[in-house]
């Protein structure tokens, strides 16, 4: 009897965690990066809950997108300086020889510099590779990618790994990226879960609206 009620309680807790994760996730995809920073600063426990939920989701996928970025970096010189926007648990930094600046809202690892990704403490044109691995969450995409443009050297690389279903119009997205100062170098659309897009910085971001720069929020279904 007590075994049954413990199992029931565990199931209820699981459901509650799932519901809170989906709620937090929705907040992150429907607000600006500043809202996200405010949310997690006010409630660090929410951040840890979010991350547990994130891990559970990604474990269902055949491959973690960050592994693609790791493989990409290993093919290139280890002397390249990297900035990882929304680094999570710093898997990237732990997996390559490069110097990696890790940015996130709450430190899951001592390597993390806590900040909003729309404003990172790096000098202009100081990094060779900027990475957003499942991290383009805020609605202020133009500002966030503008920050990546600012810190990247001319000709530097921008790597974006994002959930495939978030792209409503990939061509419009790539066109908008041109306006933000990024030329498309390669795109790997082979996984049905996520896309990996590689860009090169061609110059500073041009001001003005970039209408195609839209990604759908990634909302998870209740299971
Ligand atoms: N890149 C990691 C983690 C992806 S989860 C990986 O691939 O495993 C997305 C990460 O972006 C989370 O850790 C979340 O906290 C972070 N994030 C979301 N909004 C952010 C913001 N405004 N500034 C910095 N990090 C942010």
Tens place of pLDDT per residue across the chain (223 aa): 678 899 999 999 888 888 999 999 999 999 999 999 999 989 989 999 999 999 988 899 999 999 999 999 999 999 999 999 999 999 999 999 999 999 999 999 999 999 999 999 999 999 999 999 999 999 999 999 999 999 999 999 999 999 999 999 999 999 999 999 999 999 999 998 999 999 999 999 998 999 999 999 998 777 6
137, 142, 161, 194: residue to mutate for ligand 1 pocket, most atoms within 8 A of CB: 137
Give me the helices (H) in 75-181, please.
91-95, 141-151, 170-179
Q: How far is the CA of 133 from the centre of ligand 1 (A)?
A: 8
**Residue 220 confidence (pLDDT):** 79
Residues with Cβ within 6 A of ligand 1?
28, 33, 36-37, 54, 65-66, 86-88, 91, 103-105, 116-117, 133-135, 137-138
Structural domains of the chain, with CATH: 1-59 (1.10.10.2150), 65-201 (3.40.50.150)
Q: Which long-range contacts (CB under 8 A, 24 or more apart) does 150-154 make?
A: 150/124, 150/125, 150/204, 151/83, 151/120, 151/122, 151/123, 151/124, 151/125, 151/126, 151/127, 152/125, 152/127, 152/128, 152/201, 153/125, 153/126, 153/127, 153/128, 153/201, 154/125, 154/201, 154/202, 154/203
**Residue 3 confidence (pLDDT):** 84
**Residue 223 confidence (pLDDT):** 62
Q: How far is the CA of 223 from the centre of ligand 1 (A)?
A: 23
Q: Which ligand 1 atom sits nearest the alpha carbon of residue 37?
A: 22
Q: Which ligand 1 atom sits nearest the alpha carbon of residue 47?
A: 15
Q: Which ligand 1 atom sits nearest the alpha carbon of residue 161?
A: 7
**Residue 138 confidence (pLDDT):** 95
**Residue 47 confidence (pLDDT):** 92
CB 33 within 8 A of CB 118: yes
CB 177 within 8 A of CB 213: yes
Q: Which ligand 1 atom sits nearest the alpha carbon of residue 108?
A: 13
129 φ/ψ angles, rounded to the nearest 5 degrees: -135, 130
**Residue among 151, 156, 91 at smallest CA distance from 119:** 151
**Residue 1 confidence (pLDDT):** 63
Distance, CA of 24 to CA of 203 (rounded, Å): 35
Distance, CA of 79 to CA of 43 (rounded, Å): 37
**Residue 16 confidence (pLDDT):** 87
Please state the pTM of the whole predicted model. 0.95
**Residue 17 confidence (pLDDT):** 87
* Sign of the four-CA dihedral 165, 185, 191, 33: negative
Instruction: Tell me the chain's radius of gyration from C-alpha atoms.
Output: 18
């Amino acid at each position: 009897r007590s075994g049954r009620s413990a199992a029931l309680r565990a199931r209820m807790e699981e459901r509650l965690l799932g519901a809170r994760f989906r709620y937090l996730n929705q907040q992150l995809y429907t607000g600006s990066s500043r809202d996200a920073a405010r949310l997690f600063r006010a409630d660090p426990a929410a951040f840890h809950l979010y991350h547990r939920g994130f891990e559970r989701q990604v474990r269902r996928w055949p491959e973690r997108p960050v592994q693609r970025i790791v493989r990409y970096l290993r093919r290139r010189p280890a002397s390249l300086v990297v900035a990882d926007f929304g680094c999570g648990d710093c898997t990237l930094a732990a997996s390559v020889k490069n110097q990696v600046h890790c940015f996130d809202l709450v430190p899951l690892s001592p390597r993390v510099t806590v900040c909003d990704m729309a404003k990172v403490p790096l000098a202009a044109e100081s990094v060779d590779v900027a990475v957003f691995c499942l991290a383009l969450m805020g609605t202020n995409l133009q500002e966030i990618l503008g920050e990546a443009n600012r810190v990247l050297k001319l000709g530097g690389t921008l790597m974006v790994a994002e959930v495939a279903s978030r792209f409503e119009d990939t061509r419009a997205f790539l066109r908008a990226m041109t306006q933000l100062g990024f030329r498309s170098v390669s795109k790997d659309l082979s996984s049905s879960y996520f896309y990996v897009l590689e860009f090169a910085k061609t110059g500073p971001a041009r001001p003005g609206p970039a209408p195609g720069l839209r990604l759908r929020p990634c909302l998870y279904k209740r299971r």
